[in-house]
């Protein structure tokens, strides 16, 4: 019997799929019988399917020890006790273990290294910046102390200032001193 | 079926909160269907029983991950199938001959077979034993997915939707697997059908 032909018919298809899982009820069988009218081939096909289903469901159960449930429950109880102990031990050791676990993860180590490098770089940058500022402040303080204000008379004497600018740096110290004295007189 | 599902979910929620009595009820209810499935995947009865025990311990350990939205049997048989796969993979890496296989090879009867055939006459019981052995042999000879689909369908009465969830394939693919498995069985068991053994067994 061509199964494709059977599968095209909704009632027969449903009956077949039900038959694969369980025996048909009296009602289901009655409905199916109506479709068999005059089609002996289909009847035989369904009988064969029915017999196979009965055979499969009738196969003896696999052998199982009589104390199986007790053994499983004992194993579960052991498991419960063990997991309970693990919960109790959630102290330093467990915490360390968890941290160790984090380090063992493949992505953690490179990420941590990158983070560490970043923190070191930022700290170094700010340290350098602070050092530069400190140096600048010290220089300014020195300069402020060193450059005392000239006498007010000197500042008022514009001729003397103008002459100061004319002093040639190439001249010897003696010549420069003489030129300066001349300018200030 | 729906009531049973609710009961299982309720029991599983109790297991989730650490209730071992609820777990015991579930083990008692499903030990035989799980064992039947595993026994037909792993031919060694002792190993199949050990693996069945592992399945239930795994269920207990994973109870915290169970959600009521998942049907308990679907979840249970998925665990069973995955553990069978792991075992088959482990065996392929470390092949070893089982004790049961050795005793079978020497023509000894398996010590775990204790079916009561006293109700049948000697001829009928011989025929039934032969028939069951043949069916067992043919079922074991099926490809793994066909065999699992067939066993879940006819022995555990799972719906096609749930079988497809356990197998991780579509509904139509599941029906096709069952159909092909049944066709193979019908072909290979034809002599028994012709001799009337099927009818005798069926009735």
Got the DSSP string for A4-40?
A: HHHHHSHHHHHHHHHHHHSPPPHHHHHHHHHHHTT-H
Select the more confidently predicted residue: B89 or A163. Answer: B89
Same domain membership, residue B97 and residue B127: no
Tell me the nearest-neighbour CA distance from B75 into chain A, angstroms.
18
The Cα B103–Cα B51 span in angstroms is 21
On whether residue B113 sits in a domain, the answer given is no
The verdict on residue B13 lying in a domain is: yes
Same domain, B170 and B138: yes
SS3 state at B17? coil
Among candidates B27, B113, B186 on the partner chain, residue whose Cβ is nearest the Cβ of A52: B186
Domain span holding position B129: 120-203
Pick the last residue of a domain from B107, B129, B159: B107
Residue B76 shares a structural domain with residue B155: no
CA angle at residue B39 from B73 to B83, to 5 degrees? 60
Residues in chain A with pLDDT values less than 50: none
Neighbours of A67 (CB within 10 A): 9
Q: How far is B87 from chain A (nearest CA, A)?
A: 18
> Could you tell me the residue ranges of all domains in chain A?
3-58, 152-184
Helix count (H) and strand count (E) of chain A?
A: 10, 0
CA distance linking residue B17 with residue B125, whole number of Å: 48
Q: Is A20–B178 a contact, with Cβ atoms under 8 angstroms apart?
A: yes
Q: How high is the pLDDT of residue A116? A: 94
DSSP string for residues in A35-93 = HHTT-HHHHHHHHHHHHHHHHHHHSPPPP--TTHHHHHHHHHHHHHHHHHHHHHTTTHH
Per-residue model confidence as pLDDT tens digits over B58-83: 999 988 888 877 788 888 999 999 99
Assess if residue B162 is contained within a domain: yes
Is B47 part of any domain? yes
Predicted confidence (pLDDT) at residue B106 exceeds the cutoff of 50: no
* pLDDT tops 60 at residue B198: no
- Calpha distance B164→B74 (Å, rounded): 9
Q: Are B102 and B146 contained in the same domain? A: no
* pLDDT of B109 above 50: no
Q: Does B99 score more than 60 pLDDT?
A: no
Name the residue of chain A whose CA is nearest to B23's CA.
A73
Q: Quick one: B5 and B80 in the same domain? A: yes
Whether pLDDT at B1 is above 50 = no
Interface residue A4 vs chain B (CB under 8 A):
no
B181 touches chain A (CB under 8 A): no
Instruction: With a cut of 50, say whether residue B87 has pLDDT above it.
Output: yes
Q: Do A68 and B49 touch (CB under 8 A)?
A: yes
Domain assignment of residue B134, yes or no: yes
Q: What gap in Å lies between CA B15 and CA B2, rounded to an integer?
A: 20
Query: Is B203's pLDDT higher than 50?
Result: no
Q: How many CB atoms neighbour CB A100 within 10 A?
A: 9
Domain count for chain B, please give it.
2
Q: Give the distance from residue A70's alpha carbon to the nearest chain B alpha carbon, in angstroms.
A: 8
Task: Please name the residues between 140 and 169 in chain B that touch chain A, using a CB distance below 8 Å.
Answer: 150, 153-155, 157, 160
Do both B95 and B1 map to the same domain? Answer: yes
pLDDT at B173: 94
Whether B114 maps to a domain, the answer reads no
Q: How far is the first Cα of chain A from the last one, in angstroms, to the nearest whole number?
A: 139
B135 closest CB neighbour out of A55, A76, A80: A55
Q: Are residues B13 and B82 in the same domain?
A: yes
Band of pLDDT at residue B201, cut at 50, 70 and 90: very low
ipTM given for this complex: 0.74
B57/B10 same-domain check = yes
Residues B173 and B151 in one domain: yes
The span from the CA of A85 to the CA of B57, in Å, is 18
CATH classification of the domain holding B200? 1.10.10.10
Mean pLDDT of chain B: 80
Which of A51, A54, A87 is the best substitution to test chain B (most B C-beta atoms within 10 A)?
Answer: A51
The answer on pLDDT for B55 being more than 70 is yes
Nearest CA in chain A to B174: A17
Are B177 and B167 spatial neighbours (Cβ–Cβ below 8 Å)? yes
| Residue A80 forms contact with B (CB below 8 Å) | yes
What's the confidence (pLDDT) of residue B118?
47
CB count within 10 Å of CB B43 equals: 14
Q: Let me know whether B93 and B6 are in one domain.
A: yes
The CA–CA distances, whole Å, from B51 to A102, A104, B47, B145 equal: 33, 32, 6, 19
In Å, how far is B68's CA from the nearest CA of chain A?
21
Q: Same domain for B80 and B172?
A: no
Q: Is there a single domain that holds both residue B10 and residue B42?
A: yes
Does any domain span residue B46?
yes
């Amino acid at each position: 019997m061509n199964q494709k032909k059977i599968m095209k018919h909704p009632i027969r298809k449903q009956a077949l799929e039900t038959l694969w899982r369980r025996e048909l009820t009296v009602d289901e069988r009655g409905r199916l019988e109506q479709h068999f009218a005059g089609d002996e081939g289909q009847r035989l096909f369904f009988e064969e399917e029915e017999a196979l289903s009965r055979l499969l469901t009738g196969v003896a159960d696999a052998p199982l020890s009589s104390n199986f449930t007790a053994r499983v429950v004992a194993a579960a109880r052991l498991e419960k006790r063990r997991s309970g102990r693990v919960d109790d031990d959630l102290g330093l050791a467990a915490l360390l273990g968890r941290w160790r676990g984090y380090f063992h993860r493949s992505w953690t180590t490179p990420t941590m290294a990158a983070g560490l490098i970043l923190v070191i770089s930022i700290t170094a940058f700010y340290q350098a910046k602070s050092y530069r500022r400190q140096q600048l402040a010290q220089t300014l303080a020195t300069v402020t102390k060193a450059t005392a204000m000239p006498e007010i008379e000197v500042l008022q004497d514009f001729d003397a200032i103008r002459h100061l600018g004319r002093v040639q740096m190439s001249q010897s110290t003696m010549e420069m001193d003489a030129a300066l004295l001349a300018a200030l007189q | 079926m729906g009531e049973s599902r609710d009961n299982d979910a309720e029991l599983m929620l109790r297991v989730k909160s650490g209730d071992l009595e609820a777990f015991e009820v579930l083990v008692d209810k499903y030990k035989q269907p799980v064992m039947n499935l595993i026994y037909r995947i792993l031919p060694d009865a002792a190993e199949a029983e050990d693996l069945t025990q592992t399945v239930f311990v795994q269920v207990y350990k994973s109870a915290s991950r169970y959600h009521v939205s998942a049907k308990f049997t679907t979840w249970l048989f998925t665990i069973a199938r995955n553990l069978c796969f792991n075992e088959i993979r482990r065996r392929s890496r470390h092949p070893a001959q089982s004790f049961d296989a050795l005793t079978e090879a020497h023509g000894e009867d398996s010590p775990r077979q204790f079916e009561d055939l006293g109700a049948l006459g000697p001829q009928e019981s011989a025929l039934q034993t032969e028939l069951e052995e043949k069916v067992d042999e043919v079922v074991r000879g099926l490809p793994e997915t066909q065999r699992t689909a067939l066993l879940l369908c006819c022995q555990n009465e799972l719906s096609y939707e749930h079988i497809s969830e356990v197998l991780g394939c579509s509904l139509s693919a599941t029906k096709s697997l069952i159909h092909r498995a049944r066709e193979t069985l019908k072909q290979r068991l034809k002599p028994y059908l012709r001799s009337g053994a099927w009818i005798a067994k069926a009735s």
